[in-house]
Amino acid sequence: MSINDASQSDNGRWSELMASAQMGCESDYRQLLTELANVIHGYLKKRFGDQEFIEDCVQETLLAIHKARHTYDPQRPFRPWFFTIVRHKVIDYLRHKSSRIQHTESYQLEAQGLVSQSASVEDGIDEENLLKELSAPHREALTLTKLVGLSSSEAAKQLGISESALKVRVHRAINKLKHLIEAED
């Protein structure tokens, strides 16, 4: 079976499961969400590597699917509807999730600690991931703010740039990732 045949098979099965779920079949809905969770997880892991935020994105996406399930038309293909939601949730997550680490007053990261923590996060990103497609300044800004969890002012200070320059870098990095994700599909 080719990849295209597998996609068509998934598309048909997921469409049937969603139509059944829309009519109230809880077991079909559970099966659909389980399969979709696995697909979302694989999709994100392939694009971003083994990052902590992936599980949060999977859950946020499943919630969005649950809230939008009434909008699915069984006469239309399922995959485009599904991956549109996935793409939007990933972009929203990267745009709005500013803190990934809980900060306490007694825990202060020193400049060297920030550099090594940022480097260790970036080391976990292999060449097949979308973050490698970003320029180093954009990747650093996105890593420090969205993955390490620093505030804009902390990250700007760490990088030796203004806070507004940091925000521009993060914005451009997110837009670049958005275009890369859309281009893949």
**pLDDT tens digit at each of 185 positions of the chain:** 444 555 567 888 999 999 999 999 999 999 999 999 999 999 998 888 877 788 988 999 999 999 999 999 999 999 999 999 998 888 888 776 544 433 333 334 444 444 444 444 444 444 447 778 888 899 888 888 887 778 888 888 888 899 899 899 999 988 888 888 887 76
Q: What is the pTM of this model?
A: 0.58
Q: Computed from CA positions of residues 169, 172, 176, 182, in that sequence, does the dihedral angle turn out positive or negative?
A: positive
How would CATH label the architecture of 111-184?
Orthogonal Bundle (1.10)
C-alpha atoms less than 13 angstroms from C-alpha of 27 in its C-beta half-sphere: 0
Give dist(CA 150, CA 44) in Å, integer.
22
What per-residue confidence (pLDDT) applies to 73?
92
Where b means 16+ CB within 10 Å and e means fewer, 43-64 reads bbeebbbebebbeebbebbbee
Contacts of 116 (CB under 8 A, 6+ apart): none
CB 159 within 8 A of CB 170: no
One fold for both 3-86 and 111-184? no
Mark out the alpha helices in the chain (DSSP H runs): 3-22, 26-48, 53-68, 78-96, 111-123, 136-142, 152-159, 163-184
Domain parsing of the chain, residue ranges = 3-86, 111-184
CATH of domain 3-86: 1.10.1740
